[in-house]
C-alpha cells in the first residue's frame, strides 16, 4: 500500500489497528448486510406502507446494497456493544443490526439524492453507476424519499425487539431523525449547496460538516448508547467521540479527494470541479492531516474521560483517517 494521501501512520501502527478491527469487521459487516437485506424484503412486502412499485424497490436495492463501508451502522453496533458490556465472543443480537441499518437507510437515501443531476450529477458511486443512471431520476427520487420514514420505522421496531423501554425507543428514533433533518444532514447539505463558489472560513466549514456528515455519524453513537440504556454522561461522551471522528472523517475525505484517483475512490473526485471549499484548500495538505489526527486523539480522550473500555471504537477512530476510500 502506498501513502499518496499521507494520512497513514507507520506500518506498525496500521497493523495494530487492523489486528483489532479486521476480525471484528469481518464478523459484524455481513450481519449489517443481512439486516439491510431484511429491510429490502420488508419494503418489497409492503412493510413500509406498500405504495412502492418494482422500479422504486429496485432503486432502493441499488442504493442500499451496492457496497460502501457501512461505517454508520458499524459505529452504532460498536457503541451498543461497548455500552451493553457484552463479552467479546458473544454475538450481537439481530435487533441491534436492525437499529444500525436504519442509519444506513438514511445514508443511502442521501447519497442517491446527492448524486442526482439537480445536485452533484454524479455518474459513479462506489465504482458503480449511480442509482439514477440505472433506475432513472423519478424512481431514485421517490425511492430515496421513501427510505426516510422507513428508516424511522426500522429503528423503532429494532428497539422494540431488543426490549428497549418505550422512552428509549422514542429517543433512538428521534436521535436518527433530528440528525437527518434541517439542523443536521439536510441543513448541512443546504449550506453546502449555497456555499458552492464561495470561499468559506474555517468556522463555517466546520459548522457545515458537523451538520452534513457529523450529525449522522454522531447519531450512530448516540443511538447505540441509548439502545443499550446507558446513563446520560456516557451517551454524551460517545456523541463527543462521534463529533470528533465526524470532523476527522470529513478532513480525511477532502485529503482523499485531493490525492486519490477515481479508481481507488470509486467515484470521480469532485470538490475542485464544483468549486467547493475544503479543508485542503483552507489549510493545505499537511495542516489538514494534522487536524484530522488531533480530532482522533480528542475522540479517544472522550472515551477515556468516562472510563469506557472500547478498543473497537478506538480502532474505528484510527481507521477513519487511515482509510483509502
Ligand atoms: C435537498 C438540501 C437537500 C438535502 C437532501 C442529499 C441530501 C439530503 C444530503 C446529502 C448529504 C451528503 C451527501 C453527505 C455526504 C456524506 C458523506 C461524506 C458520504 C460518504 O460517506 P462514506 O464514505 O460512504 O461513508 P460509503 O460509500 O462508504 O457508504
DSSP collapsed to 3 states, 23-62: HHHHHHHHHHHHHHHHHHHHHHCCCCCCCCCHHHHHHHHH
* Helix (H) or strand (E) run with residue 152 in it: helix 137-162
> Would you state the pLDDT for residue 237?
98
Give the Å distances, CA to CA, from 193 to 49, 120, 184, 185, 190.
32, 10, 14, 12, 5
8 in Cβ contact with 323 (< 8 Å) = no
C-alpha cell at 159: 428497539
pLDDT score of 10: 60
Residue nearest to atom 17 of ligand 1 (CA): 213
> Ligand 1, atom 18: nearest CA belongs to which residue?
213
pLDDT of the residue at 263: 62
* Closest approach atom of ligand 1 to CA 116: 6
Gap between the Cα atoms of 176 and 69, Å rounded = 19
Residue partners of 291: CB distance under 8 A and separation at least 6 = 248, 251, 279, 283
Given a contact cutoff of 8 angstroms between Cβ atoms, the answer to whether 158 and 173 are in contact is: no
Q: What is the pTM of this model?
A: 0.93
- Element of type H or E holding 14: helix 11-44
**Hey, which of 63, 75, 113, 120 would you mutate to test ligand 1's pocket, going by the most ligand atoms within 8 Å of its Cβ?**
113
Backbone dihedral angles phi then psi of residue 64, each to the nearest 5 degrees: -90, -35
Task: Report pLDDT for 265.
Answer: 59
**Maximum Cα–Cα distance across the chain:** 53
Q: What is the pLDDT along the chain (325 residues), one digit of tens a residue?
A: 344 445 555 666 677 788 989 999 999 999 999 999 999 999 999 988 877 999 999 999 999 999 999 999 999 999 999 999 999 899 999 999 999 999 999 999 999 999 999 999 999 999 999 999 999 999 999 999 999 999 999 999 999 999 999 999 999 999 999 999 999 999 999 999 998 888 889 999 999 999 999 999 999 999 999 999 999 999 999 999 999 999 999 999 999 999 877 666 566 555 555 577 899 999 999 999 999 999 999 999 999 999 999 999 999 999 999 887 7
Q: Closest ligand 1 atom to the C-alpha of 187? A: 2
Phi, psi of 307 (to 5 degrees): 55, 40
Q: Helices (H), strands (E): how many in the chain?
A: 15, 2
Q: Please report the pLDDT score of residue 1 as a whole number.
A: 35
Residue 149 half-sphere exposure toward CB, CA atoms < 13 A = 8
Beta-carbon contacts of residue 66 (< 8 Å; ≥ 6 apart): 125, 126, 128, 131
Ligand 1 centroid from CA 213, angstroms: 7
Determine the Cα–Cα distance for residues 115 and 264; give it in Å rounded to an integer. Answer: 18
d(CA 163, CA 158): 9
Three-class DSSP category at 122: coil
Pocket of ligand 1 (CB under 6 A): 68-69, 71, 110-111, 113-114, 126, 185-186, 189-190, 212-213, 253
Cα–Cα distance for residue pair 33/64, rounded to 1 Å: 9
Ligand 1 pocket: which of 72, 118, 189 to mutate (most atoms within 8 A of CB): 189
How many CA atoms lie within 13 Å of 260's alpha carbon, on the beta-carbon side? 25
Predicted pLDDT at 267: 62
Predicted local distance difference test score (pLDDT) of residue 4? 42
* Residue from 62, 76, 109, 114 to probe ligand 1 pocket by mutation (most atoms less than 8 Å from CB): 114
Amino acid at each position: 500500500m502506498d501513502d499518496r494521501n499521507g494520512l497513514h501512520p507507520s506500518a506498525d501502527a496500521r497493523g495494530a489497528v487492523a489486528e483489532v478491527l479486521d476480525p471484528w469487521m469481518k464478523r459484524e459487516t455481513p450481519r449489517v448486510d443481512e439486516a439491510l437485506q431484511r429491510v429490502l424484503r420488508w419494503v418489497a412486502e409492503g412493510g413500509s406502507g406498500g405504495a412502492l412499485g418494482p422500479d422504486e424497490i429496485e432503486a432502493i436495492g441499488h442504493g442500499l446494497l451496492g457496497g460502501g463501508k457501512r461505517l454508520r451502522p458499524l459505529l452504532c453496533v460498536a457503541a451498543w456493544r461497548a455500552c451493553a458490556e457484552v463479552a467479546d465472543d458473544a454475538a450481537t443480537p439481530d435487533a441491534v443490526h436492525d437499529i444500525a441499518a436504519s442509519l444506513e437507510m438514511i445514508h443511502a437515501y442521501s447519497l442517491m439524492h446527492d448524486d442526482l443531476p439537480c445536485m452533484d450529477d454524479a455518474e459513479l458511486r462506489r465504482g458503480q453507476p449511480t442509482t439514477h443512471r440505472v433506475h432513472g431520476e423519478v424512481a431514485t427520487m421517490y425511492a430515496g424519499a421513501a427510505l426516510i420514514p422507513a428508516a424511522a420505522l426500522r429503528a423503532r421496531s429494532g428497539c422494540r425487539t431488543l426490549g428497549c423501554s418505550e422512552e428509549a425507543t422514542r429517543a433512538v428514533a428521534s436521535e436518527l431523525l433530528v440528525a437527518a433533518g434541517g439542523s443536521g444532514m439536510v441543513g448541512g447539505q443546504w449550506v453546502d449547496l449555497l456555499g458552492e463558489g464561495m470561499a468559506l472560513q474555517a468556522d463555517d466549514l466546520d459548522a457545515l460538516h458537523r451538520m452534513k456528515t457529523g450529525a449522522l455519524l454522531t447519531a450512530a453513537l448516540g443511538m447505540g448508547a441509548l439502545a443499550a440504556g446507558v446513563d446520560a454522561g456516557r451517551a454524551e461522551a460517545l456523541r463527543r467521540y462521534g463529533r470528533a471522528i465526524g470532523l476527522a472523517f470529513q478532513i480525511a475525505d477532502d485529503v482523499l479527494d485531493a490525492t486519490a484517483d477515481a479508481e481507488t475512490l470509486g467515484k470521480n473526485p469532485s470538490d475542485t470541479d464544483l468549486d467547493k471549499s475544503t479543508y485542503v484548500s483552507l489549510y493545505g495538505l499537511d495542516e489538514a492531516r494534522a487536524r484530522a489526527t488531533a480530532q482522533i486523539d480528542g475522540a479517544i480522550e472522550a472515551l477515556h474521560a468516562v472510563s469506557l473500555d472500547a478498543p473497537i471504537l478506538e480502532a474505528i477512530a484510527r481507521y477513519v483517517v487511515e482509510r483509502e476510500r
